[in-house]
Chain A
Amino acid sequence: MPLEVNEKTARTHRIDWAGIFVNLLLPLAGILMALLIGAIMLIILKVNPLTAYAELVKGAFGSASGITQTLVKATPLLLVGLGICIAFRASVINIGGEGQIIAGAIAATWWPLTFRTWPGWILLPTTLIVGFAAGAAWGFIPGILKARLKVNEILSTVMMNAIAIQTMNLLIRSVLMDPAGVTAGTYLAQSERLPEQVWLVRLVPQTLLHAGSLIAVVLAVLVYIFLWRTTLGYRIRAVGFNPEAARFSGINVPFNQALALTLAGGFSGIAGAIEVLGVQHRLLEGITGGYGFSGIVAALFGGLHPLGTIPASILFGALLVGGDSMQRAVQVPNSLISAILGLVVLFVVGSALWTRRWTAKRQIAAMKKGEGQL
C-alpha cells in the first residue's frame, strides 16, 4: 500500500517531487497496462481498439454534455472513495460500499416523501444528514461486529450488501412503491418522485451536473483536514499504520476501526442520497451503479489520499461515461470497463511492492548521507 510513502511526504516540508512522481507514475503505468489488455480483448472481439478507445475519449471529454456526465459519475466515486480512504487508512477493508449507498438512498427517499411539505432549505440538509446516518448505520453493524466479536469485516460487509439490495427491492415493491404506478397498473419497481424543493440545483442548465459535485469536493477537503489535522484522524491513521504500536500508546484499536467503518458507511450513504437527490429524483433498482466497488478503485488510485481521490474519481468517471458511448458507437458491452477496473486494482495493489522497496532504498541512502531522520 502506498500509505507509508505519503506519510513521509506529508512530514517533510519541502515538496517531494521524486515521491510524487513515483506515486503518480506507477498507478498510471497500471492503468496503461489495463487498457493494453483491454485492447487485446477488443482485438479478439474483432473490434479495432483504436476506434473503440477514440470513442471512449470522445464520449467522456469530446462534448460539454460528456464532460458534465463525467463529473456527475465522478461525484459518487469521490464520496465512496473518501470513505474508503478513511477505512483503508485504519486497515479496515470496507467492501460494503454498495449496501451503504443503498441504505443512504433509501433513507434519502423516505425522509423527503414523509416530510414533503417542508421548505427546501430545511428539507435538503436534513435529507443529506439522514442519508449519512443511514449509511453510517450500515457501516456500524460490521464495525461493531469486528470490534466486539472479531467478525471479519470483508465478509460481513459483502453480506450487508446483499441484505441491502433485497431490502431495497422489498421496499420499492411495497411501502415505497410509486402510487402512480399502482393506479396506472404498471407496478414499476420504483419510488414516487421526490418533491422538487429537495432536488439538488443544476450547476449547468440543460445538463445533469448538480450541486452534489461541489458538496463532494468540499467533503474531500474536510476529510483531508480530519485525517491529518485532528487527533481523531491521527488515531485512525495510527491504528492502520501500526496497530501494535497504536495499542501500546493507549489508542483503542477496535473502537477506532469501528469508527472508521462507520464513517466510511456514512460517506457512501451521502453518495446514495446525492444520487437520489441530484440524478434520479427517486429510488429505483440499480441506484448504486456499481460505485461501491469502483469507488474503491478511485481511492486506491488516489493513493488513499482524499485530495488525490478527486482527480482519480474524474478519471474513472470518464472511463465509465466513455464506456457507455463506446457501447453505443462500436457495440462493445460496457462490461469491458468493469474488467479494466478490476485489472487496474490488481496492478495498482501489485505495484505497491516497488513503491515500498523504492522508499526503503531512499531512506537507507538518506541515512547514509547523514540526514536520516526516520
Chain B
Amino acid sequence: MSELLQVSVIVGILTSAIRLATPYLYAAIGETFAQSSGVLNLGVDGIMLVSAYASFFVVLHTGNLWLGLLAAIIVGLLMGLLMSFISVTLKAEQGISGIGLYMFGLGLSSLLFKTTIGTVKTVTGFQPVKIPLLGDIPFLGKIFFNQSLLVYGAFLLVPIAWWVLEKTTWGLKIKSVGQNPAAADSLGVSVDRVRYVSVCLGAILAGIAGASLSISLLNLFQDNLTAGQGFIAVALVYFGGWRPVGVLWGAMLFSIVNAFQLWVQVLGVKIPSDVAIMLPYLLTIAALAITTNRGRQPAALNKPFERGES
C-alpha cells in the first residue's frame, strides 16, 4: 500500500478523478433541472448511449470534434422531446417511461454501432488544454488546469446551473412547477412548457455527457459504453439534494473512489477487479441510505400534472 501514498500517485488519482467526474456532472446537473421541474427522467443512460454513438460516428467520418458535439446535442434534444412527450403530454408513469427510453437507447445505439461501425475503433478526441500560468502551479496545475475543454465545461456548468436555478425567473418557474404545479398553473405558468424545457435541457446535457465519454475521455465506442453511468447520475441528484453544488460533491466523491480503484488495479494491489468495480455501486446505495437530503425533494417529483386533479 505504501506506493499509494506517493505524491505522484495521489496527483494521478486526483487527475483521473476530475476527468471521470465529467460525464457524471453533465448528466447529473441536467437531471437536476428535469427533477427540479418534477420529472424523473430515468432514461439518462439511454440518451448518453445514443449521443455517445452519434458524436463518435460523426468524428470518425469528419474528424470534426465540434460537429460531433453538435450531433450529441441534437440526439439529446430529440430523445428529450420523446421523453417529455410521453411523460408530460401523455402523463405516463415516469419511472417506467424512463426504463423504456433506456431500453430503446441501449438497443438503438447497439444496432447502429453494429451496422455502421462494426468493430471497436478509436478517434482522436478533445485534447488536454493547459491554461496559461494556472497550469504551471505544481501539482494543482496538473490536476485542475491541464484537462480537455469538455472537462472544464462540466465544472463551469455547476455555478451556471446554480445561478439559473437560484437567481433567475426561469429557475423559480422550474422549481415552482416541481413543488406545486397546481399553484404555478393558477399563476399562469405553463407547467407543461416548463417541464418540456427542463427535460430537454437535461437530455441535451445527458447527450454531452455521452459525447464526453466517446470523444473526450475514452475516444471509442462499444456496446453499452456507459455501463450504467446514467443511472448513477440519477442517484447523484438524490445524493446532492437537488442542488448543483451537492451534485458536484457527490460526483467528486464517486469519481475519486472510482479513480482509486482503477489505480489500485494498475499498481497491482491484490484485490479482485470485480470487487473493485462493485465498490462505486455499494457506495451509491450506502450514500442513498445515509443521505439526509430527502426533505429537499421536489414535492411533485414523479407526479404527472393534470388540471383539475388533486
Contacts and interface: CB of A to CB of B under 8 A. Distances in A.
Interface in B127-164: none
B63 interface: no
Contacts of B96: 93, 296, 300, 345, 349
A346 B288 contact: no
Contacts of B274: 166-167, 169-170, 173
A41 B235 contact: no
Contacts of A225: none
Contacts of A158: 228, 231, 235
B119 to A, nearest CB: 13
Interface string A347-366: 00111110000000000000
Nearest to B239: A155
Given A162-B228, A333-B114, A352-B93, A150 B82 contact: no
A140 interface: no
A339 interface: yes
A160 interface: yes
Interface residues of B, number: 46
Contact of A159 (B86, B106, B235, B277): B235
Contact of A162 (B106, B108, B281): B281
* Most A C-beta atoms less than 10 A away, residue of B46, B93, B100, B282: B100
Nearest to B284: A159
A199 interface: no
A163 interface: yes
Interface string A140-170: 0000010001111011101111110011011
Contact of A350 (B90, B115, B285): B90
Contacts of A95: 95, 99
A155 B111 contact: no
Contacts of A166: 274-275, 277-278, 281
A223 B143 CA distance: 56
A45 B106 CA distance: 17
A155 B44 CA distance: 13
Interface in A108-161: 145, 149-152, 154-156, 158-161
B186 to A, nearest CB: 22
Given A45-B115, A333-B111, A336-B111, A341 B103 contact: yes
Given A166-B274, A169-B274, A41 B111 contact: yes
A1 interface: yes
Interface of B: 40, 42, 46, 82, 85-86, 90-93, 95-97, 99-108, 110-111, 114-115, 223, 228, 231-232, 234-235, 238, 272, 274-275, 277-278, 281-282, 284-285, 288-289, 294
Given A338-B104, A339-B103, 11 more contacts: A145-B289, A149-B289, A158-B235, A296-B99, A335-B107, A336-B107, A343-B100, A343-B104, A345-B97, A345-B103, A350-B85
Interface of A: 1, 41, 45, 93, 95, 145, 149-152, 154-156, 158-163, 166-167, 169-170, 173-174, 293, 296-297, 300, 332-333, 335-346, 349-353
21 contacts: A45-B115, A93-B96, A95-B99, A149-B289, A154-B95, A156-B288, A158-B231, A162-B281, A293-B99, A293-B103, A335-B107, A335-B111, A336-B111, A342-B46, A342-B103, A342-B105, A342-B107, A342-B108, A349-B92, A349-B100, A352-B92
